[in-house]
Amino acid sequence: MLDTKLSWQGLSGDYVLSLGDECELRPGTDKALPTLSASINALSRMWFGVRPASHLAFSDKLKGPETLIKALDHLIRLPTPHFGWDF
Domain ranges of the chain: 15-75
* Mean pLDDT taken over the chain: 88
Please state which of the ranges 13-27, 32-46, 71-85 shows the lowest mean pLDDT. 71-85
* pLDDT on residue 55: 95
d(CA 56, CA 22): 25
* Predicted structure pTM score: 0.75
Residue 73 DSSP SS3: helix
pLDDT digits (tens, 9 = 90+) for 23-43: 898 999 999 999 999 998 999
For the chain, how are helix, strand and coil distributed in percent, rounded to 5?
30, 15, 55
Q: Residue 6 and residue 76: Cα distance in Å, rounded? A: 34
